Amino acid sequence: MTAVLAAASVTGPHIDWAAISPIVALLGGSVVVLLVGLLRARVVRHQVVPLLALLAFGAAIGLVIWQWDTDTLVVAGAMRIDSLTLLSALLVCSTGVAATLIAWRGRAARELAHGEFFALMLVSAAGMVVLVAAVNLVTTFTGLELLSLPLYVLCAAMMRSERSLESGLKYLIIGSVGSATLLYGFALIYGATGRTGYAAIAQALVAKDIAGDVLVLTAVAMIVVGLAFKASLAPFHQWTPDVYEGAPTSVTAFMSVATKTAAFGAIVRLFDTALLPTVDDWRPVWIAIAVISILVGNAGALGQSSMKRMLAYSSIAQAGYILVGFVVVTRLGVQAVLFYLAVYLFANLAAFAVVAARERETGLGDDIGALRALGARRPLLAVSMTLAMLSLAGIPATAGFIGKFRLIEAAADGGYTWLGIIIVIGSMISLAYYLPVVAAMWRDEAQSAPAPEIDGRTGLPALAGGSPEADPPRAGWEVQLVALVLGAATLAFGIYPQPLFDLVQSAARGLGL
Amino acid sequence: MTIHLSIVLWLPLAAGVLAVILPRAAARWVSLLGALAVLAYAIVLVADYDTARGGLQHVTDVVWIRSLGIHYKLAVSGLNLFLILTTAIVFTAAALWSALREGRIPRPGLYALLMGLAETGVLGAFMAQDLALFVVFFDLMLVPFYFLTLVWGGPDRTRAVLKLFIYTLVGSLLMLVGAIATGVLAAKGGTPTFVLSDLQRHPLTRSSQEWIFLVFTLAFLIKMPAFPFHGWMPDGYQQMPIPVLAVFTAILSKVAAYGFLQVAIPLFPKAAVHFQELVMLVALASILYGSAMAFTTTRARLVLGYSSVAQLGFIVLGIFALNSRGADGALLQSMNHALVAGPMILIVALLAARTGGSEDIRDMGGMAVRGPLLAAVFLVLTYALLAMPGSANFIGEFFILLGVFQSKLALAVVAFAGVVMAAVYALRLYIRSMHNRVGADVEPRELGWRAGVVLIPMMLVVLALALYPQIALKRGDRAATRAIAGARLVQAAGSLATAPAQEARR
């Protein structure tokens, strides 16, 4: 008995608070936001709470920059804070800032009560950072659930919208299947190796010479499937279009970028350290998934009139491109993955910001018709959207082109030039759905009626003479700011990408490559 | 005198940006001033070029993206010198045409910006001495044409422009993979470089050369367009606004022809020799198909469009003769065709204006009655287009055919049919519009001063080049010879290798 007590009173593991400070900031911020959100004053709920959420994300970004050169194992070897973690955290938190700005005056945050909405988003972001940092199967799963559970709720945030509820439920069910599959895989890995730490698993796989064992192969297959669900890679993507379309636009924006960043961070870390001895077994599988994602995503996006659905399919294709950088299993490839995640962030969030802005200004929701003749009426929004579309398609002078260049270079360097050709075939197909968006915005008004404006306050179409203001309603400045800043970044990093390259330079250092 | 190529390169875009910022009324003039400044700079460039020294001159070389090994390296050589000048001339003509146009162009600032971007893109593709930079500009120059057609084009433009963009980007994107593979494979595990002169020093293995060469060739043939890859051309031509089309048809196809001499043949000489006959057959098919279509279609624009297909076929034929005669001729012919095709498109607009908007040559006729000056200008350009002896085009085609005679006699014989067919379609267009009975809706009118200011100087340039083509030939000769030198070496080595084998068999 005393022995047990003595053991219990043993001090916990040493915790490097400075290293995990970004996670602490996100979790602490969520608690503060939740509590402040309980206050009744309207100004507090509508203005102070989002501001606090922004502050939490901003603080996390600041702490990430403070810890930039850290490379250490923390919390008894459960997590590794290195430049892969910190870079992913930077991307996730930047996405969080953008999503918070988009959500600020949106319907979703109001319906769910602001405190809960933003608190959930912060928790989810913390889960993403934990997921990428995890170097232990238990931590990995904890991070995964920490990121997933809040997202299920956030998808259903518009509680009076059937589609939003459907989206949340669908995501919950399919996401749980994905998590369960992953968990089974982890359990089998533990069964085979007796370890949960990544480095120890890799050692055990080599030492016991069981890399080709059926148990291990089954485990690897289940892990691949589970993570492919999370990263919405084909053929495990069926939930994506429905969930993306139904969820509030701010949540979709957050999910499409941040979740992907975290999922890819986890995939890279897990497969390039713990499962590296089985590389010959999982590489063909991931290659197949990459090719299928590129083809299915691009084919599915063709002819979609809902912008969110189109972007959902496009994000599947983009995930396929990113996967090409991963499957070559080189440092160059990992750098290409992170570089592409950054440029994908700029373009995708800019696109979602414009979609969100037009959702509020017109009665057409996320239909492509809401963008019609935008070039003449709102040139800045239209330019941002155009740059986003061209960047996603990989046209020169946008960051997307440089990103694709890097991915293809990594593929050629790793001896997989044919995957580079698959990427460009995908890009060709993608032009057939990105360009019509651009065309809708820039064709002159005379031939295509502009999207009808609605009354900003009532949410109903303005009656002739019944509108209190002569001006059509404008989406809040913050949404336009997101679109503009990210559109400008797309262009700027397309012309001078070197700073971004310097940022991802050391990303692969902590891996087994 | 130091000339900064960066200034020439970015000046058009800078003028375009200025045109967006300044008041609407100023946009067209700012755009014109920008184009004129580039023209002046290009003339200085030509005058300053040291023909005796040859090689790359006025080199600008800084590292652009260190992590990718991409250099921002620009230079002029005998190869691109006159193409740069031609680009400046045609863009100035287009800017002048747009500026003097009766009635405002809607959204003039955006128009000026896109035209500026187009000129910068084309100049960049001509000047680039880094493979990746070349690919960037090659793809980039298409983007403004997409928007120019989308906003100011014909009624059915959305579909046509999508087709054009996808068609040409299919080639360009495959070319991107080819370019990256070239850099990575040439580096053999080291940091890749894309500087052309470095790449030339590290030739690839034969099998790599072959697939990469095919990818580049496909991109260039689509952009030209050559016969089986011209699907985008009829729709695209019909929907483009006139000054934009003039630039497009005159200049963009030449970037592709230049690409063969600058990139594909020097970097992949073994493959160029291997596929010589294949490419020449495609060129021949383009000549025959383009000519046949040009004298059967009744739309004036498409006559010129298909004639372009045929003329570009000649140019490719000359390049792939793989001897210096053919390459010289191809280079001269690139310039000739650009200088003739540009104003010809503008004349189509004049013809349409006199036929109540119709571009069908069956509606035309008798326009020479009250327009002797128009008829004269048109006739000079027509003669140049059909390569009448005395025109620079004649000299170009002559050199090309001479080159082809030396390398592939049979092909040259067939290609001669193209020369005859060119006379048929060019004269048909001229006679049907200018002579014959005055059409029902035709109002013959003299060349107005607005069009005259553009067309007469262009005609004078064509005449001047006809009188003194050596100005271009002399400067281009060495560079063109050097471009195909690698392939000639491969050929020579090949014939040396096969000769003993044949003897042994005997």
pLDDT by residue (tens digit) across A32-73? 999 998 888 888 888 899 999 999 999 999 999 999 888 888
Residue of B nearest to A409 (CA): B180
Closest partner residue to B150 (CB to CB) among A394, A442, A498 is A442
CB of B362 closer than 8 Å to CB of B306: no
3-state secondary structure of A434: helix
In chain B, what residues touch A412 (CB-CB under 8 Å)?
A: 177, 180-181, 184-185
In chain B, what residues touch A409 (CB-CB under 8 Å)?
A: 68, 180, 183-184, 192
How many domains does chain B fold into? 1
If you average pLDDT over every residue of chain A, what do you get?
88
Picking from A386, A391, A413 by the largest number of B CB atoms within 10 A of its own CB, the best residue to mutate is A413
Residue A510 has pLDDT above 80, yes or no: no
pTM: 0.91
In chain A, what residues touch B137 (CB-CB under 8 Å)?
A: 396
- 8 Å CB contact of A405 and B146: no
Classify residue B300: in a domain, yes or no. yes
Residue B497: CB atoms within 10 A of its CB come to 9
Classify residue B100: in a domain, yes or no. no
- 8 Å CB contact of A443 and B106: no
pLDDT digits (tens, 9 = 90+) for A183-239: 999 999 999 999 999 999 999 999 988 888 899 999 999 999 999 998 999 899 989
- The better pLDDT of the pair B168, A354 is held by A354
Picking from B62, B67, B168, B216 by the largest number of A CB atoms within 10 A of its own CB, the best residue to mutate is B67
State the residue range of the domain holding B461. Answer: 275-490
Residue B251 CA: distances (Å) to CA of A427, B112, B202, B342 = 26, 18, 31, 8
Classify residue B144: in a domain, yes or no. no
pLDDT at residue A262, rounded to an integer:
95
- For residue B61, the 8-state DSSP code is E
- The better pLDDT of the pair B444, B226 is held by B226
Provide the terminal-to-terminal Cα distance of chain B, rounded to the nearest Å: 62
- 8 Å CB contact of B132 and A420: no
pLDDT at residue A340, rounded to an integer:
95
What is the rounded CA–CA span in Å between residue A104 and residue B113? 36
Residue A217 CA: distances (Å) to CA of A277, A285, B133, B474 = 12, 11, 45, 69
What is the rounded CA–CA span in Å between residue B78 and residue A178? 62
Closest partner residue to B151 (CB to CB) among A427, A436, A442 is A442
CB of B418 closer than 8 Å to CB of B287: yes
In chain A, what residues touch B162 (CB-CB under 8 Å)?
A: 431-432, 435-436, 439
Which token pair is A473?
Answer: 């309603």
Classify residue B143: in a domain, yes or no. no
In chain B, what residues touch A390 (CB-CB under 8 Å)?
A: 143
- Tell me the H-state helices in B58-205: 81-100, 108-127, 131-140, 142-152, 157-187, 196-201
B65 phi/psi in degrees, rounded to 5: -120, 105
B416 touches chain A (CB under 8 A): no
Residue B125 has pLDDT above 50, yes or no: yes
In chain B, what residues touch A413 (CB-CB under 8 Å)?
A: 184, 192
pLDDT at residue A465, rounded to an integer:
40
- 8 Å CB contact of B184 and A397: no
What is the rounded CA–CA span in Å between residue A23 and residue A75? 13
What is the rounded CA–CA span in Å between residue A113 and residue B374? 74
CB of A490 closer than 8 Å to CB of A350: yes
Classify residue B131: in a domain, yes or no. no
Confidence of residue B22 (pLDDT cuts 50, 70, 90): confident
CB of B34 closer than 8 Å to CB of B16: yes
Closest partner residue to B169 (CB to CB) among A397, A431, A436 is A431
Residue B62, H or E segment: strand B57-65
In chain A, what residues touch B184 (CB-CB under 8 Å)?
A: 409, 412-413
Residue A401 has pLDDT above 90, yes or no: yes
Residue B97 has pLDDT above 80, yes or no: yes
Tell me whether the omega of the peptide bond preceding residue A235 falls within 30 degrees of 0, making it cis. Answer: yes
Picking from B180, B215, B218, B222 by the largest number of A CB atoms within 10 A of its own CB, the best residue to mutate is B180
B177 touches chain A (CB under 8 A): yes
B402 touches chain A (CB under 8 A): no
pLDDT at residue A470, rounded to an integer:
40
Strand partners, A148: none
In chain A, what residues touch B68 (CB-CB under 8 Å)?
A: 402, 405-406, 409, 501
CB of A21 closer than 8 Å to CB of A89: no
Q: How far is CA B68 from the centre of its chain?
A: 29
Picking from B167, B184, B218 by the largest number of A CB atoms within 10 A of its own CB, the best residue to mutate is B184
B151 touches chain A (CB under 8 A): yes
Between CA B16 and CA B20, with CA B17 as vertex, the angle to 5 degrees is 90
User: Which residue in B263, B177, B180, B191 sits closest to B220, CA to CA?
Assistant: B263
Average pLDDT of A86-91?
A: 94
pLDDT at residue A464, rounded to an integer:
42
Distance from CA of B352 to the nearest CA of A (A): 23
- 8 Å CB contact of B181 and A420: yes
Residue of A nearest to B165 (CA): A431
Average pLDDT of A450-463?
A: 48
Confidence of residue B154 (pLDDT cuts 50, 70, 90): confident
Distance from CA of B139 to the nearest CA of A (A): 6
What is the rounded CA–CA span in Å between residue A135 and residue A148? 19
pLDDT at residue B123, rounded to an integer:
95
Classify residue B324: in a domain, yes or no. yes
* Residues sharing a CB contact under 8 Å with residue A217, sequence separation 6 or more, in sequence order: A278, A281
Average pLDDT of A80-103?
A: 94
Average pLDDT of A418-434?
A: 92
pLDDT at residue B177, rounded to an integer:
92
CB of B403 closer than 8 Å to CB of B323: yes
pLDDT at residue A407, rounded to an integer:
94
Closest partner residue to B177 (CB to CB) among A420, A438, A439 is A420
DSSP per-residue codes, A25-38: HHHHHHHHHHHHTT
- 8 Å CB contact of A396 and B140: yes
Closest partner residue to B184 (CB to CB) among A376, A396, A413 is A413
What percentage of residues in chain A have a pLDDT greater than 70?
91
If you average pLDDT over every residue of chain B, what do you get?
88
Tell me which of A183-187, A465-469, B133-137, B267-271 is least confident: A465-469
CB of B340 closer than 8 Å to CB of B455: no
Confidence of residue A264 (pLDDT cuts 50, 70, 90): very high
Largest distance between two CA atoms of chain B: 81
What is the rounded CA–CA span in Å between residue A497 and residue B67? 9
Classify residue B6: in a domain, yes or no. no
pLDDT at residue A471, rounded to an integer:
47
Residue B10 CA: distances (Å) to CA of A169, B1, B121, B169, B365 = 54, 20, 9, 24, 44
Residue A393 has pLDDT above 80, yes or no: yes
Tell me which of A190-194, A358-362, A415-419, B275-279 is least confident: A358-362
- 8 Å CB contact of B151 and A396: no
Q: How many residues does chain A have?
A: 513
- 8 Å CB contact of A396 and B66: no
Average pLDDT of A404-431?
A: 92
Average pLDDT of B406-412?
A: 87
- 8 Å CB contact of A405 and B143: no
pLDDT at residue B309, rounded to an integer:
92
Closest partner residue to A428 (CB to CB) among B169, B180, B181 is B169
Classify residue B113: in a domain, yes or no. no
Q: How many residues does chain B have?
A: 506
Residue B32's identity, in one-letter code, is L
- 8 Å CB contact of A501 and B66: yes
Burial category of B141 from C-beta neighbours within 10 Å (exposed 0-12, middle 13-18, buried 19 and up): buried
B469 touches chain A (CB under 8 A): no
pLDDT at residue B90, rounded to an integer:
94
Distance from CA of A449 to the nearest CA of B (A): 15
In chain B, what residues touch A427 (CB-CB under 8 Å)?
A: 169, 173
Between CA A73 and CA A83, with CA A79 as vertex, the angle to 5 degrees is 70
- 8 Å CB contact of A402 and B68: yes
In chain B, what residues touch A501 (CB-CB under 8 Å)?
A: 65-68
DSSP per-residue codes, B441-503: T----PPPHHHHHHHHHHHHHHHHHHH-THHHHHHHHHHHHHHHHHHHHHHHHHHHHHHHHHH
Distance from CA of A369 to the nearest CA of B (A): 15
Average pLDDT of B347-367?
A: 85
Residue of B nearest to A394 (CA): B173
Strand partners, A461: A454
pLDDT digits (tens, 9 = 90+) for B280-323: 999 999 999 999 999 899 898 999 999 999 999 999 999 999 98
